[in-house]
């Protein structure tokens, strides 16, 4: 059976992990690793643009990451501000649409304002949809969708028997995008850590020991090649899904 080598994912999700360990190996503070991760974000965007991938979802800050030491949180918040001030213009020029997903209300006003400005400024772009998950958790996404559905039922606009997977899908943060075809997690851990729980149901998972700041073009190409050799069955048999020719 031949793998479909021209198969390119429409949507890639990435858990950008390993910044702290990257810094520790260099005897530097963890924030040094977070700052170094910016280059890998640029590489990921360039990779998606080069392959005409429609959407890239980056896990930048989880709802659980608030429990880290105050010093690290504050370094991360300062980094968000700097990144928003310095990277948005270039992404705008590249035709990238930026979206922040997660509970944005928890962020201080200077960050919220910059996020909303970046989203407005790039909203018409179509080269790549870049979703940056901040204060995001897959369970939070499911809870906020459940609230929306409960409201619709409570005010008589939705019959409970009409609730199905499609109806729910439309209420999640990334409702209008296809589910990720490929999830990359860097940094060696083999877990989902509360990222897009609903959307990852049939996503191909790719784990690499490479720490996030070390991710480069070659490392992303390796992940893509690995993906292209997978057989996605979605519950069917291999014979059913294999294209002969």
Active-site annotation, residues: 17, 65
Of 158 and 200, which has the nearer Cβ to ligand IPE? 200
Q: Based on CB atoms, which residue is closest to ligand IPE, 18 or 138?
A: 18
- 212 lies in the site for Mg ion, by CB under 5 A: no
Residue 213 near residue 37 (C-beta atoms within 8 A): yes
Examine residue 17 and tell whether it contacts Mg ion (CB under 5 A). yes
Distance, CA of 113 to CA of 93 (rounded, Å): 20
Residues that bind ligand IPE (CB under 6 A): 15-21, 59-62, 65, 76, 187, 189, 191, 193
Quick count: other Cβ atoms within 10 Å of Cβ 110? 12
Q: What are phi and psi of 97, to 5 degrees?
A: -90, 125
Least distance (Å) between residue 19 CB and ligand IPE:
4
User: Which phi and psi angles does 128 have, rounded to 5°?
Assistant: -155, 135
If binding is defined by CB under 5 A, does position 37 make contact with Mg ion? no
**Count, residues near Mg ion per rule CB under 5 A:** 1
* Strand order, beta sheet including 128-136: 96-101, 128-136, 55-62, 11-15, 182-185, 204-207
Which CB sits closer to Mg ion, 22 or 172?
22
Contacted by 61, from Mg ion, ligand IPE, none: CB < 5 to 8 Å by type: ligand IPE
Footprint on this chain of Mg ion (rule: CB under 5 A): 17
């Amino acid at each position: 059976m031949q793998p479909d080598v021209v198969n390119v994912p429409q949507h890639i999700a990435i858990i950008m992990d390993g910044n702290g360990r990257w810094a520790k190996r260099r005897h530097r503070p963890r924030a040094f690793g977070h700052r170094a991760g910016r280059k890998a974000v640029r590489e990921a965007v360039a990779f998606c643009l080069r392959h005409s991938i429609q959407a890239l979802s980056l896990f930048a800050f989880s709802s659980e990451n608030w429990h880290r030491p105050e010093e690290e949180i504050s370094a991360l918040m300062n980094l968000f501000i700097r990144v928003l001030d310095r990277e948005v213009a270039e992404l705008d020029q590249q035709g990238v649409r930026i979206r922040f997903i997660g509970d944005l209300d928890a962020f201080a006003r200077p960050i919220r304002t910059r996020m909303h400005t970046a989203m407005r400024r790039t909203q018409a772009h179509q080269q790549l949809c870049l979703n940056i998950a901040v204060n995001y958790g897959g369970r939070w996404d499911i809870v906020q969708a459940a609230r929306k559905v409960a409201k619709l039922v409570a005010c008589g606009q939705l019959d409970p028997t009409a609730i199905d997977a499609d109806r729910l899908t439309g209420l999640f943060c990334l409702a209008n995008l296809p589910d990720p075809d490929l999830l990359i997690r860097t940094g060696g851990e083999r877990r989902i850590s509360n990222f897009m729980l609903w959307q990852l149901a049939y996503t191909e998972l790719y784990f690499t020991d490479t720490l996030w700041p070390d991710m480069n073009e070659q490392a992303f190409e390796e992940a893509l090649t690995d993906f292209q050799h997978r057989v996605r069955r979605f519950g069917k048999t291999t014979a059913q899904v294999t294209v002969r020719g």
